[in-house]
Amino acid sequence: MTADHIWRQIAQLLSTATSRVLLVAPFIKKDVFQAALGAVPAEVEEITCVTRWSVAEVAAGVSDPEIAELAQLDGRATIRLCHNLHAKLFVADDRCLVGSANLTGKATGRVPAPNLELLVEVGTSHPQVQHVLALLDASTVPGTVELAEQMREQANLLQRDEDGPRVVVPGHDEQQTRWLPETRNPERLYRVYNGRHRHIGSDVLAGVLRDLAHLDVAPGLEEQAFGAAVLARLRTIPELRALTEAGRMNLADAQVDLAATGEFTAEQAKRAVETIAAWLSYFDDVHLVPVGPWEIRQGKEIT
């Protein structure tokens, strides 16, 4: 068996297509994507590629959003994004390969020292294949050239940041790294998320990008959906448990809890709690109440 046997499996499958091709992989590099397009017969007019893009993963070099440009140039291909994608599936008409291989050089054996991968052929009528295809139909969003350019720009900025977060791959690193909001102005988050950061200083922008990378929000969301995703992530912070469970959180107590972890000085804990309060005030339906030490309370303020 040759080192590139995974690629040979994929190319052979694609070469048999007569009507449709579907490429599903979280990580796709543009050279392998170009080779896959070249393996599909010219008469096939429908090529759909489902992948995922995150700024941290693009910055780490495991995924190339520039495949959107290649798809546009090809004229037959469409890019769709699924943020929690981990499946690998390659379809030609009613045949498909399922297994572990992404469309990268190391996964397909197109570069030295390839990964150990597995692809097995099954029919597209297999119940589990049908289940995944139905979920993809219901959950993907367009991966446009404009969005690809935005992701690359933010990834380039994140690459320059030595304090940027490591890549977390769903299915492998289930334990989330500890994160607390950094930027003091949460209203900047959606602007930067949408690529509008021309008038934000470099140090401030770096903090916003670190927050966005840790939040790991799916790309292409409208502002309301983005806010809901940020709030869901905020509510996973242990120090906010009192607010979630009791509808109120004493800011002094939260500050003491943070300082007690040993990860923060008293001043750092104070600043962190103030930043959390600012984010909650912006993204959640809460208000501040000056009762002794200040409290954050769930719900609108009654006046």
Give all domains of the chain, ordered by start, each with its CATH number: 5-147 (3.30.870.10), 178-298 (no CATH)
Nearest C-alpha neighbor of 52 from the set 102, 6, 108: 102
pLDDT at position 172: 44
For residues 137 and 123, what is the distance between their CA atoms, to the nearest angstrom? 18
pLDDT at 162 over 70: no
Q: Is 283 helix (H, G, I), strand (E, B) or coil?
A: helix
For residues 35 and 91, what is the distance between their CA atoms, to the nearest angstrom? 16
pLDDT at position 246: 64
Instruction: Count Cβ atoms below 10 Å from residue 289 Cβ, excluding itself.
Output: 12
190 vs 226, 235, 272, CA distance in Å? Answer: 7, 18, 20
Q: Is the dihedral of CA 106, 112, 117, 123 positive or negative?
A: positive
pLDDT at position 276: 86
Average pLDDT estimate for 242-262: 74
Condensed to tens digits (0 to 9), the pLDDT of residues 37-70 reads 999 999 999 999 999 999 989 999 999 999 999 9
Q: What's this model's pTM, rounded to 2 decimal places?
A: 0.82
pLDDT at position 244: 64
Condensed to tens digits (0 to 9), the pLDDT of residues 128-149 reads 999 999 999 999 999 999 999 9
Q: Residue ranges of the alpha helices (H) in 235-265?
A: 241-246, 251-260
Condensed to tens digits (0 to 9), the pLDDT of residues 65-123 reads 999 999 999 999 999 999 999 999 999 999 999 999 999 999 999 999 999 999 999 99
Instruction: Tell me the average pLDDT of the chain.
Output: 87
The C-alpha angle with vertex 48 and arms to 43 and 50, in degrees rounded to 5, equals 155
**Which DSSP symbol is given to 296?**
E
